[in-house]
Amino acid sequence: MDQAVSREKESQAIHMLRKGLATGFPIMLGYLPIALTYGVLARQTGLSLVELTMMSGLVYAGASQFMAVNMIAVSASAMEIIIATFVLNFRHFVMSLSFMNRLRNVERKWKLPLSLGLTDESFAVSAFHPKEANQKNGAYFYLGIFVMAYFSWVSGSLLGGVLGDVIPANLSQSMGIALYAMFIGLLVPSVKKNLRVGLIAVIAMLINFACVEIGMSSGWAIVVGTILGGAAGIFLLKEEVE
Amino acid sequence: MIILTIIGMSLATMIPRIIPGFLVDKLQFRPWVNRWLNAIPYAALGALIFPGILSVIPEQPFIGIIGGLVAIVLAYFGLNVVLVVLGSILAVFLLTI
């Protein structure tokens, strides 16, 4: 009897994990070409396969890794690179705050691994699937998304370092649209349901754009755009919004 | 030297990611703060999409815009995100050959 119950629990967890992996699949499409490019570039800059894969595994932040590789190429100091990384990735603080607030009902043991795996993309996909946070075994759903993203990024980096330029240049350039298309694909259905959501996004876009125009670094511009755009939500959103 | 840089970068990305988990555990937010935090995903997507999308093909910003418009149309008609992504890649690819 007990065994049957635990088996059912297990299969529920596996079901949620599978669902998460499938939901995270678009992230793989977006990550692979970028990770391959990163691997190639890092290898050309002189990082060993171990170093470039380790960077993907431990830092796990695409934009920062590209920047670091460029800075290593011009022999910037470690401290400069670390500070630039912090600035560029500080937006994850804001995103993690929003995500963790959604996960209040999720068991505590899941929160550390989930927050460590937060990226722009894993956050975006998870945030647009909020209802699983309150379902049984919901943590497995998010785990699936995060594992899919992490695996794509790290293995793609290694593959890029090993294989070199395997994707034709114009195809990999075209694939640069993938993550933007995914963001749009996530946003549009919500905008169709509630136009105010679109207004929040547009406000954030304009603030971000204005900050870049006045010479702010892109890292801070995204932080300011996200925080102020989100603040518009205080007035535009009702108590509970899907 | 590179290993040290990687470890430092790792801390610089980890710390902002994990602190909110502890904050949220300790705090209960007022409703307006919850509305703010619930709006963050929409605002974040907006800020991540624009103006970054203009630099998909750095010399030709309009190609990024067209790729984005294709994504909007496909998503508007309810296509799965995977198809939206593939359609948009195809559009940009056709514009660059």
pLDDT level of residue B1 (50, 70, 90 thresholds):
confident
Q: Is the ipTM of this complex over 0.85?
A: yes
Burial class (CB in 10 A: 0-12, 13-18, 19+), A199: middle
Please report the DSSP string for chain B in residue order. Answer: -HHHHHHHHHHHHHHHHHHHHHHHHH----HHHHHHHHHHHHHHHHHHHTTGGGGSSTT-HHHHHHHHHHHHHHHHTT--HHHHHHHHHHHHHHHH-
The total number of structural domains that make up chain A: 2
Cβ count within 10 A of residue A20: 24
User: Over 50: is that where the pLDDT of B56 sits?
Assistant: yes
Please check whether residues A131 and A222 belong to one and the same domain: no
Per residue in A110-160, pLDDT tens? 999 999 999 999 999 999 999 999 998 999 999 999 999 999 999 999 999
Report if pTM > 0.95: no
Asked if B73 is an interface residue toward chain A (Cβ–Cβ < 8 A), one would say no
Q: Is residue A128 part of a domain?
A: yes
Q: Is residue A183 part of a domain?
A: no
Interface of A with B in 121-150 (CB under 8 A): 123-124, 127-128
Domain span at residue A237 reads: 194-242
Q: Is residue A115 part of a domain?
A: yes
Please check whether residues A121 and A15 belong to one and the same domain: yes
Find chain A residues with C-beta within 8 A of B12's C-beta. 82-83, 85-86, 89
Please check whether residues A21 and A75 belong to one and the same domain: yes
Please check whether residues A200 and A106 belong to one and the same domain: no
Chain-chain contact of B84 with A170 (C-beta, under 8 angstroms): no
Q: Is residue A185 part of a domain?
A: no
Please check whether residues A127 and A234 belong to one and the same domain: no
